[in-house]
Structure 1
């Protein structure tokens, strides 16, 4: 069997599908990954067939990039959205050639279900956070330029408005691309993408699914990619040279200005050393003092159990990794699902969050809250409850369905 795994987004959207690809290959299945070109080298290094989809996204972490500037205006977002869907319809049919099923991760895979429908093969949608999917238990996530007209409206009204926005934003370009393929028009874009039986690749302790909902959601657990790569020698030496440091990182997203200075000052205020992850924003150290080190992409599964706390943006992947490692967390949420994970970390008692723009003072106060022994103990207990078999569950579901 050959499976196409398709996503649009940064590492947080790509890594779960890479985890599924690795597991399917272990089971003897053929896999092809369709994702932004930023991830070609990584995927092919794991032996996964790769087809690039859309433009590179690394520049979006910089405020002066052309893509970031285009996203600043409604007209710029509209043009980019239309170009993205057209590119998907041009790329995905060839990528899906010879495939027996398609798995889409991330809601902006606007064309994927249509291509599967045209090919006559099964399609499965996967969300990475519960708030992506409609439920009477939570409000819809807010996209850039997509705030509700009345944020205090009842939850059913907010989801109805969300459905209308999906149709207004994507319906025209989606149906224009479906017509040449002989496919009928779609009148419910969100329902078309999500289907009636979506999967939820999120840990049930950290991010439980809660109805009621019109959807039959199957929560598999988070899709975790096992990482056995060693930490860089210089990082190993830094960890061995003193007490556990504080980790700071914002992954693939744009980081606030002057954040590196604020992070290092906050760690020093508590007499702690600091590890600064450069990320796509290319954060750098502020001086040459030996109490700090900057790192690139490293094995979080090996690193997080050895730090005193993890300060990060609150993406699904990083939050799951830190929770699983049993490390206290400070979240600095910026967009989409990150405020949800900030709330969950607080509710579970394993950390706290900063609202608004972080500075040295707010980071120092947040670290004071999470560096307490009782928070560390609570984080260790919750970490032991995180499931690690989500990708195996998903692979079995896929094989049984196809």
Structure 2
């Protein structure tokens, strides 16, 4: 069996595909991944010997550019065209396509699979992209929902309209060039008849429309066997567990002094700090020996040795921190991150910071709760309930799907 895994997004969109690719290979499949051409994504895939087909512009450059909402259709058109340009060759000889990431990119990938007659699966790493009467959709930049509309079903109808306004013209132009009929509802096309939800059912219990047949596989995370750097291990061994701070692929706009804020709040609790540089480019604020800065590092090994984890609330980081049993402070920046912050708070395993810009006072107050003994006790209890078989579950489902449609790999 040959599988093509496609995404466009941040590290949090690429890393789950690494996990799925590895599990598929264990089952004897050949796998390639379509993803943005960023150096860190390419290196991550090279480390596990999975071929990368670069698609579209750099995800980091797109994120850091802070483009205006009015330019969203144009950027989406580039992403869609990139899928139509690169995917046909990448999909050659493949038996199944897995599409995830940003809506326009996923729509383009699914269209290529449709053109080539390849079975496809649409996957999301957060249920907030799936219609539900239990919550409102996220508003797209420049297209806020009317403040007087509170019916979630009406808001989801508006969400579908927004997606069509933003993405339908570019999608259907490319589809027409490929000899495909137009799509009338882009969101429904991307979701499909049976979308997969690659999240943990304890951390993220599915609540949606009864007519959406969602397959929840569990989160796609591999065991990370990489040792921690010797210098980091020495730092950890030299004192009490530190507080970890890292914001992943978030540039932390409006928080130019975020490293200073975090270190001061952590020091106020008599704790040391480990900071991940990330796209926010965190660094040391002075020459004291109570702080350590890391780059790419094994979060699974590190989080288990921390007093708390301060992060942005990406699905992967939230799941890894939850599995580690470390209390969390989630400082959500955008997209699904407020949702994950809320889940952490609802489960009693940490704190949802109010707003994207921490101050010394607000972060210190959040750490008061996160570092309380009861929070650690609850975090340890929930950690034992988190599934570890999500990627293998998904891999087996894909193998079954290919067998069901009669394709021989």
Q: Mark yes or no: TM-score above 0.5.
A: yes
Residues 307-349 of structure 1, C-alpha deviations (whole Å, 9 max, x = no match):
0000000000000000010110000011111010111111000
How far apart are the structure 2 equivalents of 1:328 and 1:60?
32
Residues 267-306 of structure 1, C-alpha deviations (whole Å, 9 max, x = no match):
1000000001100221111001000011001100100010
- The answer to whether the Cα contact below 8 Å between 2:131 and 2:209 also exists between their aligned partners in 1 is no
Aligned partner of 2:312 in structure 1 is 313
Question: Displacement, 1:15?
Answer: 0.6
How far apart are the structure 2 equivalents of 1:151 and 1:12?
34
Question: Displacement, 1:147?
Answer: 2.5
**TM-score normalized by the length of structure 1:** 0.96
**TM-score normalized by the length of structure 2:** 0.94
How far apart are the structure 2 equivalents of 1:270 and 1:146?
42
Aligned positions, number? 395
Aligned partner of 2:22 in structure 1 is 22
Aligned partner of 2:398 in structure 1 is 398
Structure 2: gaps (5+ residues): 403-409
How far apart are the structure 2 equivalents of 1:73 and 1:127?
23
How far apart are the structure 2 equivalents of 1:235 and 1:144?
40
Say whether residues 1:258 and 2:253 are aligned partners.
no
Say whether residues 1:190 and 2:169 are aligned partners.
no
Aligned partner of 1:373 in structure 2 is 373
How far apart are the structure 2 equivalents of 1:335 and 1:215?
26
Mark the CA change 1:60 to 1:85 in structure 2 (over 3 Å): closer, same or farther: closer
Say whether residues 1:242 and 2:239 are aligned partners.
yes
Question: Displacement, 1:89?
Answer: 1.0
Match of residue 88, structure 2, among 88, 93, 97: 93
The DSSP-based 3-state class of the residue aligned with 2:369 is helix
Aligned pairs for 1:276-355 (under 5 A) are 276-355=275-354
Match of residue 56, structure 1, among 52, 58, 64: 58
Aligned pairs for 1:58-207 (under 5 A) are 58-60=60-62, 62=64, 67-68=65-66, 71-74=67-70, 76-108=71-103, 109-150=106-147, 152-207=149-204
Question: Displacement, 1:59?
Answer: 3.3
Match of residue 214, structure 1, among 208, 211, 215: 211
- The answer to whether the Cα contact below 8 Å between 2:140 and 2:162 also exists between their aligned partners in 1 is no
- The answer to whether the Cα contact below 8 Å between 2:130 and 2:208 also exists between their aligned partners in 1 is no
- The answer to whether the Cα contact below 8 Å between 2:72 and 2:166 also exists between their aligned partners in 1 is no
The DSSP-based 3-state class of the residue aligned with 1:229 is coil
Question: Cα RMSD (Å) of the superposition?
Answer: 1.2
Structure 1: gaps (5+ residues): none
The DSSP-based 3-state class of the residue aligned with 2:123 is strand
Residues 125-167 of structure 1, C-alpha deviations (whole Å, 9 max, x = no match):
1111111111112211233334323374201000000011111
How far apart are the structure 1 equivalents of 2:315 and 2:69?
27
How far apart are the structure 2 equivalents of 1:110 and 1:236?
44
- The answer to whether the Cα contact below 8 Å between 2:73 and 2:167 also exists between their aligned partners in 1 is no
How far apart are the structure 2 equivalents of 1:190 and 1:14?
21
The DSSP-based 3-state class of the residue aligned with 2:107 is coil
Question: Displacement, 1:60?
Answer: 4.8
The DSSP-based 3-state class of the residue aligned with 1:344 is helix
Aligned partner of 2:407 in structure 1 is none
